[in-house]
């Protein structure tokens, strides 16, 4: 299969919502981050939570960038283990979970999104133990999630115009996919220059309220990474580096 990105998907796409395009902070999601699951809440606490959510929606503006790359699922990492490579970048995604997520995909939408340094400054200004900081942290988490979801929907819609289906959003740190790919992901998206996203020496994103993610794009039906793969019908069967090592990508 040719490892090229269709012309309509090749260019980086910036996400810079404003006005009515800004995502809505999901209050229920925010409450889940705070540990609520339907319990009664005092009206004063509810008022404070609403005030912080309003503040975040008013004063923080998410920014993101996404780009589509071809998937190379027959490559290996520096240790010779099977890995997903994104063609034209130095990104190498390790681990069985991301391998199963992308092995049957022709393309991968790589995305990064951040709430920016203002969120970081405000979170650092508070004391970790204060209720206000805890609530602000939850609100920022819910808001960045809403922004990434908006980017996700846009990416899916763009892919659908070319007849491509998309699986779910996967991030480094899920399952056995290490965070070590973060610096190369940020670099591949030029996200430092475009949206001010950086990575710490321990591979954490900075600003901390930031997300990077990968979505697989498929010519046919979506491959569900949660379904146990079958070598018998796998397109990688002939050159499979797992099988060459006497194992499989599903650990059997
Ligand atoms: S051939 Fe089997 S082990 Fe190799 S990628 Fe396909 S399903 Fe996984």
What's the CA-to-centroid distance between 103 and ligand 1, angstroms? 8
- The closest residue, in CA terms, to atom 3 on ligand 1 is 248
103 CB less than 6 Å from ligand 1? Answer: yes
The rounded Å distance from CA 177 to ligand 1 centre is: 18
- Domain holding 186, by residue range, is 7-226
Question: Pick from 240, 36, 19: which is nearest to 135 by CA?
Answer: 36
- Binding site membership of 234 for ligand 1 (Cβ less than 6 Å): yes
Identify the CATH number of the domain in which residue 132 sits: 3.40.109.40
User: In the chain, how many domains are there?
Assistant: 1
- Residue 241 CB less than 6 A away from ligand 1: no
pLDDT in tens, 53-86: 999 999 999 999 999 999 999 888 888 889 999 9
Pairwise pLDDT comparison (244 vs 172), residue with the higher score: 172
Ligand 1 atom having least distance to the Cα of 234:
6
CA of 24 to the centre of ligand 1 (A): 41
Residue-wise DSSP of 32-49? HHTT-SS----HHHHHHH
Does 245 map to a domain?
no
| DSSP per residue, 47-60 | HHHHHHHHHHHHH-
Across the range 153-181, mean pLDDT stands at 96
Q: Answer for the pair 213, 144: CB distance below 8 angstroms, yes or no.
A: no
Q: Identify whether 62 is part of a domain.
A: yes
Q: Give the number of other Cβ atoms within 10 Å of residue 168's Cβ.
A: 14
CA pair distance 207, 196, nearest whole angstrom: 8
The structure's pTM equals 0.91
List, for residues 204-217, the tens digit of each pLDDT value.
999 999 999 999 99
Q: Which atom of ligand 1 is nearest to the CA of 103?
A: 5
Question: What's the rounded Cα separation, in Å, for the pair 88 and 84?
Answer: 13
């Amino acid at each position: 299969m040719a490892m090229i990105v269709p012309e309509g998907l090749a260019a980086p796409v910036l996400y810079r919502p404003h006005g009515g395009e800004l995502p809505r902070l999901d209050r229920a999601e925010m409450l889940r981050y705070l540990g609520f699951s339907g319990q009664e809440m005092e009206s004063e606490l509810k008022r404070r939570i609403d005030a912080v959510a309003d503040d975040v929606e008013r004063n923080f503006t998410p920014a993101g960038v996404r780009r589509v790359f071809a998937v190379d699922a027959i490559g290996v990492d520096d240790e010779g283990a099977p890995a997903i490579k994104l063609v034209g970048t130095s990104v190498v995604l390790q681990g069985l979970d991301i391998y199963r997520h992308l092995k049957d995909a022709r393309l991968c939408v790589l995305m990064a999104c951040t709430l920016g340094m203002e969120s970081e400054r405000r979170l650092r200004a508070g004391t970790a133990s204060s209720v206000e900081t805890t609530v602000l942290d939850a609100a920022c988490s819910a808001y960045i999630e809403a922004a990434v979801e908006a980017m996700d929907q846009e990416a899916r819609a763009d892919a659908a115009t070319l007849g491509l289906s998309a699986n779910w959003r996967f991030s480094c740190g899920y399952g056995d996919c290490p965070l070590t790919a973060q610096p190369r992901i940020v670099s591949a998206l030029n996200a430092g220059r475009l949206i001010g996203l950086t990575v710490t020496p321990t591979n954490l994103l900075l600003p901390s309220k930031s997300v990077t993610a990968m979505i697989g794009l498929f010519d046919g039906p979506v491959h569900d990474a949660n379904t146990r793969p079958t070598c018998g019908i796998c397109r990688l069967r002939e050159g499979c580096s797992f099988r060459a090592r006497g194992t499989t990508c599903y650990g059997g």
